[in-house]
Amino acid sequence: MSHRGALASCALASCALTSCALASCALTSCALASCALASCALTSCALASCALTSCALASCALASCALTSCALASCALTSCALASCALASCALTSCALASCALTSCALASCALASCAITSCALTSCALASCALASCALTSCALASCALASCAITSCALFYKAPPPVLPGNYNLSMHLSTV
C-alpha cells in the first residue's frame, strides 16, 4: 500500500505494513486506530492533522516532516532518524524510543505524560514550552539547547552531561532540586 499522490483525507481502522517508502506524502487529515510498520522511509511528509491510537515502527527515516497537530495515544520506535522536524503541537500519552537522532527539532509546544529514552543525541533543539510529568533518560547528549520555558515534575538522569551555558544568573540547581 503506497500512495504517491496527495490524499485529502485518510481514515484507517488498522494498518500493517512490512515496509513503506514514499518519495513525498501530503495528507490533509489522517486518523489511524493502530499502525504497525516494519520500516518506513519518507523524503518529505506534510500532515495537517494526525491522530493515532497506537503506532509501532521498527525503523523510521524522514528527510523532512511538518505536522500542524499530532496526537498519539502510544508510540514505540526501535530507531528513528529525522533530518528536520517541525511540529505546531504534539501530545503523546506515552512514548518509548530505543534510539533517536535529530538534526534539528523545533516544537511550539510539547506535553508528554511519560517519556523513556535509552539514548538521545540532538544537534540543536529549540522548545518554546515543554511540560513533562516524568522523564527518565539513561544518557543524553545535547550540542545546543534553547528552552523558553520548561516545567518538569520529576526527572531522573543516570548519566548527566555537562550543563549548558545559561544566559544571565539563571540558577539551574533550583529547578533540578527534585532529581
Query: What pLDDT score does 5 carry?
Result: 53
- How do the domains of the chain map onto residue ranges? 43-72+92-161+174-178
| Confidence check: pLDDT of 76 > 80 | yes
Is 18 exposed, middle or buried, given 0-12, 13-18 or 19+ CB atoms closer than 10 A?
exposed
CB atoms inside a 10 Å sphere around CB 60: 20
- pLDDT tier at 45, thresholds 50, 70, 90: very high
Helix, coil or strand: residue 169: coil
| Confidence check: pLDDT of 43 > 90 | yes
pLDDT digits (tens, 9 = 90+) for 89-113: 888 888 878 888 778 887 878 878 7
| Confidence check: pLDDT of 149 > 90 | no
Taking each continuous run of H as one helix and of E as one strand, the counts in the chain are: 1, 2
Tell me the C-alpha distance between 165 and 32, whole Å.
42
Tell me the C-alpha distance between 126 and 176, whole Å.
20
Query: What pLDDT score does 177 carry?
Result: 34
Altogether, the residues listed in the chain come to a count of 179
